[in-house]
């Protein structure tokens, strides 16, 4: 009999699957202090929490029988992931439970904004009957621009189509084929902002999506556009949004999230053109129950040693396999991160090829790690070692693992190929005894560099002075070059430079580099 402790308030419906399981005993004991939890956790096989319980390293260490910790929600900030991983405890969450809730809230905000419902409500309850000040706009035949077409974005698009809206969407993983399957029009970010009457964002907050909607994007929009953000604060530059509203470019905005929460002294709050709610996207009875249902089901699978999903730490790998593949985890993830930043177009296929000594071991954990590196560049921290394959499948990305006898003279070699809607890119890496992970080949060009830090990948014509002009320009702009590697196939032909620099290079310097005669492209890579 397995014992499961539920230490935060969860509904009977949410944990019903646990209660009904014949081989599971459920104990509900809430409001425990850390010391009280430590005193009793040793007798339990699994722990189910929401946000109140802090699952610290001490709690995990005391849980000698613990196999799983489940968080009935998305975030796992209250759980020490490193301690759980080191102890072999699987941590799971419920990333899908609030999809419908957030999609519905986004659409409710869109409609409230279109018809100015909150503003009209306030004036009426204040005692004033005013029909003239609140003329709205119809959704019928309007264009909805969706930035980020993941689970939630796709659900919003589905609802928009029911209102006879035309939907155009941008997502780094969206291909024209998948757009057609979803019944939306494929577009670039510029296409979306230029054509949309309403724009809703549904991306994670990453380095690349922070301020993805900014002053330049507002300048490209139609006058009278309306903006909705129920995803993450910081995707839209709030200062730029305020200026766009004040100038009349943006007719209104509906915001459920903010760069700083709560939004203290935020000038957007209180503007008559802005509808605001206090981060209510997942705040429905059903969403709260759904996440508990999802986690309860996964805990049962883990306890019974059945296949499970939604783990946010490294899944269990047999000790004899882990010993052989563990040294390659960092290499594979860095190769994934690297190639994701070099490829242009919607990702369609990933091929990971193992050569040398790697052909004799189970490399599935390494392929998951590679995929995590690729997807996390676009999707952020929501990608983990377990859900990466499912996320790829949901985006129609085909993943292939291959073994090859050719290792290019290296004891081991990992090659990652990305095939996108526009091109194909390959990067290869290896482990050198005493030196660690190295990138040794990029699209057929031999190279030797450590995959970390600030990198510049420059494609250029192999002409005298080209390297010198790059170095001079960077030096003039106070950018110090730590290392430089040059790869070429033919004398005087096309070549690449891969530079490690001491700090991030500003966009204007990158643009100036790209304008040099010999340079065909400049890509900044952060590892």
Residues annotated as catalytic are 232, 261, 279
Backbone angles phi, psi at 74, to 5 degrees: -95, -55
User: Which helix (H) or strand (E) is 402 found in, with range?
Assistant: strand 398-404
Dihedral sign, Cα of residue 360, residue 366, residue 367, residue 370: negative
Residue 510, CB-side half-sphere exposure with 13 Å CA sphere? 16
User: 157 vs 110, 121, 163, 213, CA distance in Å?
Assistant: 12, 27, 10, 19
Query: Which residues contact residue 495 at a Cβ distance below 8 angstroms, ignoring those fewer than 6 apart?
Result: 445, 459, 460, 461, 462, 486, 487, 488, 489
Residue owning tokens 């929401």 = 50
Nearest CA among 135, 179, 134 for reference residue 153 = 179
Cβ(373)–Cβ(333) below 8 Å: yes
Residue owning tokens 């005193």 = 39
Cβ(76)–Cβ(312) below 8 Å: yes
Count of other CB atoms within 10 angstroms of residue 430: 26
The 3-state DSSP composition of the chain as helix, strand, coil percent (nearest 5) reads 35, 25, 40
| SS3 call for 51 | coil
| SS3 call for 348 | strand
**Could you tell me which residues are beta bridge partners of residue 199?**
145, 227
Give me the sheet containing 250-255, strands edge to edge: 185-186, 166-170, 143-147, 198-201, 225-229, 250-255, 274-276
Nearest CA among 264, 157, 251, 135 for reference residue 202 = 157
Two tokens, residue 355:
């050569």
Residue owning tokens 């990158």 = 510
Cis peptide before 262 (omega within 30 of 0): yes
Nearest CA among 248, 247, 235, 239 for reference residue 268 = 239
Rg (CA), the chain: 26
Cβ(189)–Cβ(172) below 8 Å: no
Two tokens, residue 101:
């809730």
Two tokens, residue 446:
């031999």
């Amino acid at each position: 009999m397995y014992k499961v402790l539920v230490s935060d308030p969860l509904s009977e419906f949410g944990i019903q699957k646990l209660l009904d399981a014949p081989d599971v005993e459920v104990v509900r004991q809430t409001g425990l202090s850390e010391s009280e939890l430590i005193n009793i956790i040793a007798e339990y096989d699994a722990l189910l929490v929401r946000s109140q319980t802090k699952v610290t390293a001490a709690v995990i260490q005391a849980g000698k029988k613990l196999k799983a910790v489940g968080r009935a929600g998305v975030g796992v900030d209250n759980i020490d992931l490193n301690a759980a991983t080191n102890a072999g405890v699987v941590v799971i969450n419920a990333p899908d439970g609030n999809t419908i809730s957030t999609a519905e809230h986004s659409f409710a905000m869109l409609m409230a904004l279109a018809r100015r419902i909150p503003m009209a409500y306030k004036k009426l309850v204040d005692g004033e009957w005013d029909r003239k000040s609140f003329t709205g706009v119809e959704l019928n035949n309007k264009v909805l621009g969706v930035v980020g077409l993941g689970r939630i974005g796709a659900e919003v698009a589905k609802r928009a189509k029911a209102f006879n809206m035309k939907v155009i969407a941008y997502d780094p993983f969206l291909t024209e084929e998948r757009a057609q399957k979803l019944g939306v029009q494929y577009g670039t970010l510029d296409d979306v902002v230029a054509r949309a009457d309403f724009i809703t964002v549904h991306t994670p907050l990453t380095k690349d999506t922070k301020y993805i909607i900014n002053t330049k994007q507002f300048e490209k929009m139609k006058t009278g556009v309306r903006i909705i953000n129920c995803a993450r604060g910081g995707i839209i530059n709030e200062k730029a949004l305020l200026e766009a509203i004040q100038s009349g470019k943006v007719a209104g905005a509906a915001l459920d999230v903010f760069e700083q929460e709560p939004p203290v002294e935020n000038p957007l709050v209180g503007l008559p053109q802005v509808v605001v709610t206090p981060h209510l996207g997942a705040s429905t009875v059903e969403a709260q129950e759904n996440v508990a249902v999802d986690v309860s089901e996964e805990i049962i699978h883990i306890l019974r040693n059945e296949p499970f999903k939604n783990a946010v730490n490294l899944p269990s790998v047999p000790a004899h396999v882990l010993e052989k593949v563990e040294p390659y985890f960092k290499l594979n993830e860095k190769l994934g991160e690297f190639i994701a930043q070099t490829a242009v177009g919607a990702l369609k296929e990933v091929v990971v090829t193992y050569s040398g000594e790697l052909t004799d071991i189970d490399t599935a954990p390494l392929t998951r790690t590679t995929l995590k590196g690729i997807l996390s560049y676009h999707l952020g921290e929501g990608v983990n070692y377990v859900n990466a394959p499912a996320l790829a499948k949901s985006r129609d990305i085909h993943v292939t693992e291959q073994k090859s006898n050719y290792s290019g003279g290296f004891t081991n070699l990992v090659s990652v190929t990305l095939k996108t809607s526009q091109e194909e890119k390959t990067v290869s890496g290896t482990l050198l005894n005493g030196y660690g992970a190295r990138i040794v080949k990029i699209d057929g060009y031999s190279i030797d560099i450590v995959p970390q830090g600030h990198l510049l990948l420059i494609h250029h014509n192999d002409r005298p002075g080209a390297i010198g002009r790059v170095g001079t320009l960077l030096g003039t702009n106070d950018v110090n070059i730590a290392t430089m590697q040059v790869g070429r196939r033919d004398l005087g032909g096309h070549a690449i430079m891969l530079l490690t620099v001491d700090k991030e290079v500003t966009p204007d310097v990158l643009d100036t580099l790209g304008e040099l005669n010999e340079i065909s492209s400049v890509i900044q890579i952060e590892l």
